[in-house]
Structure formats: structure tokens, C-alpha cells
Amino acid sequence: MKIYFYALREYDELTFCYQMRDKYGIDFAYSTDYPNDKNISLASGFDGVSCTPCDMSAKTLKAFHDVGVKYILTRSIGYDHIDLKAARELGMKIDTVSYTPTGVADYAILLMLASIRRLWHTLKRAELQDYSLRNKIGRDFSACTVGVMGTGRIGTTVLQHLTGFGCRLLAYDVYQNDTAKKFAEYVDLDTILAESDIITLHMNANDDNYHIINAQTIAKMKDGAHIINTARGKLIDSEALIQGIESGKLGGAALDVVEFENGLYYYDLMGEVMINPKLAMLRSFPNVILSPHTAFYTVEDVCDMVEGNFRSCYEFGTGKRLHGIETE
């Protein structure tokens, strides 16, 4: 069995690929580029293709299928970048990875603290030797109500870790779990919007929660509320967020993910024109923190992501696992 890796980072992922090749007996080759019309042929003769979030449309899947690829393995928890209907029609198996939730959970808490204490703005002004206090005042985190939307592994870990800060904790999810109930009170959507000083998103991106943060839901929030997103950019209507910041309805936002980030994040675009005007607008606000989709980025998580793709290929190829995600 063989896996072809696209967008492989030689400075961190490659070491783990060599380790997993020896562990699972699966060979690999790679490109540092994302899949495109010119390099899809590189995967010819490989059982699986490994990718990060990128264009995995029906056209791309068909091209991989035509060169003999049977498995699409994404080095991410989310899979909204993959056309599952097309994969099902082609008979291709799709799989994601899981990794320890603590890295993303703790990063979300870091963004909460940085946002309500205006840390990013304060540090940028300090670099210019502006040590005055005007427009730097923050909030006491322990006095805040934090609303966690989405209580899967990461959201539940956020709740658990927040218990040490003394915050009031609320949770919202269509599917409640008993572990989260130990740390937070489950409430409906309107209640979590109305009563939270900080709302942190930990939901999958699907049709049901696309733009769950929009003009209507922002209007229901507390004045001065902060929004944190380490999940998926599609959860937030960027235009509504911009209007919420400009009007003063929102106190701030800290975003590790944004809409239409493909083609931007993970590229070195220094000196180039910004091709995402909404992202450029968000960057201009002193009370918005943007980090380039790095909440996951720990040694432990990168290792888990690489191993997850090798494990999936091994299980598919040996028949230990017959089905991929939502394609059968």
C-alpha cells in the first residue's frame, strides 16, 4: 500500500511520515504543493491521497479516481472541503483524523483571554512605545459568562478547563453529553446568545449550522459580547460580524478560522495584495484578533494527524475497516 501526500510540510510532518511508514508498512511519496490539474498525476499507482483542507470538489475527486486512487484521507477533523456525494458515486472511501482535543481547547481559552483583555492591541501599541492606558481596558475573565456552542470532544474539554477560572459556563448542542453536563448548564440557542459575555464555537460545518452566527443571532447577543472561533470559518457570516464590530454591538472577536481562507492560510503572501476583502477589513479593527488556522498546531496533534492517515489506509487496505465517513 502507498499514500501520496499533498501540501506536506517538510519541517514537521515529514519526520512523522517516516516513523509511520515503518510502523504500518505503508510507503509514501509527497509534494509540498496543494493538488492541482498539473500534479494529480503524481498520485498514479497510489492507494490513498492525503490532503489538508483544500479543493476536493467532484472534478478533483474524479481526476484522482481516474489515476487509481481509492482513498481520500484528510489530515483534519473537518471534511467540509470534500464532495462526499461525488466520492460515494465514484466508490471512493473518505476518512478524517482525530487528535487530542487539548491543543485546540487551550488555544480557544488563550484567544478568549487575549480578546477580553485587548492583548493584541496593547502589544502592538507597546511595540511603538505607546504605554498609555486609553482604549486598553479589559474585562475580568472570572466575572464573565462563557457560552460554548458545540460540546463534542473539543467543546467539552474547553468547558472542563474553564472550570478553574471561575466563569459561569453555558453550553449549547443539539446532542447533549453527560460529561459536559458536569461542567456547564445546557441552554437553548436564544439563551446562550443573550446571556454569554463570550461565545466560543466548536461545531462542525454543515448545512444546519452554516452562518449560525449572523445578523439575527448577533442582534440577540449581549452588548459587548466577544466571539471566538477555532472551528470553521463557515459558522460565521463575515459581513454580519463586520457590521457587529463597526456598530459597537460586539466587544471583539478572536478568529483562528475565517470564511474563504483557502488559498490564503498556510501560504507566505508577504508583500502581495490581499484577495479576501472581508479578511482585510477584519484585520483593520483593533478589537479583532486573527490567527492563521493554528489552534491545532502542536507536536502531539501533528503526529496524530499524520498517523491517522496511515492508520486509515492500513485499515481500508487490510479490510479491518470497510466504510469511510458518510460515503456508504
273 Cβ partners below 8 Å, 6+ apart? none
User: 17: burial class by Cβ within 10 Å (0-12, 13-18, 19+)?
Assistant: buried
Active-site residue, from 121, 153, 293, 311? 293
Residue position matching grid coordinates 466508490 = 91
Selected catalytic residue, list 13, 75, 118, 261: 261
Query: Which residues touch 162 (CB under 8 Å, ≥6 apart)?
Result: 109, 146, 169, 183
Q: For residues 140 and 66, give the distance between their C-alpha atoms in angstroms, rounded to a whole number.
A: 57
Residue of 232, 259, 307, 311 marked active site: 232
326 among known catalytic residues: no
- Amino acid in the structure at residue 152: G
Which residue carries 515503518 as its cell?
22
Annotated catalytic residue 121: no
Residues 6+ apart with CB under 8 A from 197: 116, 139, 144, 145, 146, 222, 224, 225, 226
293 catalytic per annotation:
yes
Please give the C-alpha separations between residue 127 and each of 87, 114, 146, in angstroms, as whole numbers. 50, 17, 31
Q: Which residues does 290 contact at the CB level (< 8 Å), separation at least 6? A: 255, 258, 279, 282, 283
Catalytic residues: 232, 261, 293
